[in-house]
Amino acid sequence: MKGLLTQVGSYERSVQLLMVNQFTINLGFYMLMPYLAAHLSGTLGLAGWIVGLVLGVRNFSQQGMFLFGGTLADRLGYKPMIVAGCVLRTFGFATLGLVDSLPALLAASAATGLAGALFNPAVRAYLAADAGERRVEAFALFNVFYQAGILLGPLVGMVLTGVDFRITCLVSAGIFALLSVVQIRALPARRAEDTGRRATEGVLAQWRGILANRPFLLFSLAMIGSYVLSFQVYLALPLEVRRLGGDGEFGTAAVAALFAVSGLSTILGQTRVTAWCKARYEPGQALVRGLAAMGLAFVPLLLATAVPVPESGFGLWLLAAVPPTLAALLLAIGTMIAYPFEMDTIVRLSGDRLVATHYGLYNTICGIGITVGNLGTGAALDAARSAGMPALPWITLAVIGAVCAGALYGLHRSGRLAAPPAAEPVGAAI
């Protein structure tokens, strides 16, 4: 921990603040969101389709608006978007705990999603700009704070929700309100370089220029697999644990262990993994290895399907807990390898121009990919159960990892992951 704090202290105050901000953002978000569905269906007694609608509106408003949020950050500055996102989350989370009408719930859910679309691209572009040549190391540290918030948030939320979900909402809203004040007072103003010249360009012209950046688009498509695979910590792995271990105390504890292994391994190992990879690999090589590790994460589950399932006892618990936990650990390692180089590659492929807009489009592409990928994973899980082929989803996910690693290898070998020529304007291919 001392070494981690020393590394953080070596950066400018703005970078330090952005890391702490991301921890706090995730703390406030994850102390509420895991328990929102139960509140909507239980306390408010809403139908399942309405619960899905409310949650879907949040996801759609975030994924669908990332590009707009990134564009606004490049044109208006990073700080205003970060502050606006925190303020929106404040009102959105407070409203979720205080209202019970569907229109108000939908509006609050949309506001929380839009908030993420505003501050996520801005935070990453700001961090990349102020970290300078130490971007890779900065994003490694950023991921430590990011995962720490994800790990601690649900624990705090569980305690507060045990009293009253409304308290959870108000405390979360209070965190974002405090964060808004801190941003206003302490975060230095930061604008993208050459913002004045870009402001004379039309937004559509800028977007067309980015869409003409073929290496960036190919990289974005290749990286979809990493997000589909990493999301299985929340989808396929818990479902597999509960399929074998049941929904009782053991199943709950085993699922909690998945999240703990994923978060703690990142907190303890991210900076070491990044330093080791940077000393040995080019960015493209690290990305390939990260995706390959994520694909291999599903091999323990695949091998486990060849083992006869015990009817009960310690053997059943072992089969239900160990392969998914190993998969969660390997997914975390693959993410640790790839994430800092992934964030750095986006900046390089943007040519350091319209960085927040590139992050916004990247998030939108990957968000759509996650949705499609999760639908496909769910279909594979259903097909596996109905056809008696438990290996099917794990083969599918492993193949996704291999295909995406192969695509990244091709991009790296062809030189498409290198930065574009400095003189090439963003809108040159309009």
Residue 361 belongs to domain spanning: 202-416
30 and 175 inside one domain: yes
**pLDDT for position 64:** 85
Q: pTM for the whole thing?
A: 0.89
The residue-averaged pLDDT of 237-262 equals: 82
- Last-in-domain residue among 180, 200, 220: 200
**Cβ–Cβ < 8 Å for 176, 90:** yes
* C-alpha span between 254 and 321 (Å, rounded): 6
**Cβ–Cβ < 8 Å for 349, 417:** yes
**pLDDT for position 193:** 66
pLDDT band at 302 (very low <50, low <70, confident <90, very high): very high
Residues 332-380 have pLDDT tens digits of 999 999 999 999 999 999 988 999 999 999 999 998 888 888 888 888 8
- Side-chain-side CA neighbours of residue 249 (13 Å): 0
* Phi, then psi, of 313 in degrees rounded to 5: 85, -170
The residue-averaged pLDDT of 12-39 equals: 91
The domain total for the chain is 2
| Cα angle for residues 8, 331, 361 (degrees, 5° grid) | 70
Average pLDDT taken over every residue of the chain = 88
- Estimate the crossing angle of helix 135-163 against helix 102-131, to 10 degrees: 150
pLDDT band at 45 (very low <50, low <70, confident <90, very high): confident
Domain-embedded: residue 428? no
Nearest Cα residue to 261 out of 289, 223, 222, 300: 300
The answer to which of 1-5, 17-21, 163-167, 202-206 has the lowest mean pLDDT is 1-5
Domain-embedded: residue 383? yes
**pLDDT for position 246:** 76
247 and 391 inside one domain: yes
| CATH number assigned to the domain comprising residue 24 | 1.20.1250.20
pLDDT band at 196 (very low <50, low <70, confident <90, very high): low
220 and 195 inside one domain: no
- The yes-or-no verdict on residue 123 having pLDDT over 80 is yes
- The yes-or-no verdict on residue 39 having pLDDT over 90 is no
Domain-embedded: residue 211? yes
156 and 75 inside one domain: yes
- The yes-or-no verdict on residue 195 having pLDDT over 60 is no
Tokens (6 digits) for 415: 């030189």
- Last-in-domain residue among 150, 171, 200: 200
Residues 172-190 have pLDDT tens digits of 999 999 999 999 999 998 8
The residue-averaged pLDDT of 269-273 equals: 94
- Last-in-domain residue among 200, 220, 235: 200
* Phi, then psi, of 420 in degrees rounded to 5: -70, 160
**Residue with token string 């950023």:** 142
pLDDT band at 250 (very low <50, low <70, confident <90, very high): confident
> How many percent of the chain have pLDDT more than 90?
57
The answer to which of 28-42, 68-82, 264-278 has the lowest mean pLDDT is 28-42
Query: At residue 275, what is the residue type?
Result: A
pLDDT band at 383 (very low <50, low <70, confident <90, very high): confident
167 and 208 inside one domain: no
- The yes-or-no verdict on residue 13 having pLDDT over 60 is yes
**pLDDT for position 422:** 53
* C-alpha span between 366 and 272 (Å, rounded): 27
Determine the 3-state secondary structure of 189 from DSSP: coil
**pLDDT for position 425:** 44
- The yes-or-no verdict on residue 122 having pLDDT over 60 is yes
Measured from the Cβ of residue 20, the count of other Cβ atoms closer than 10 Å reads 15
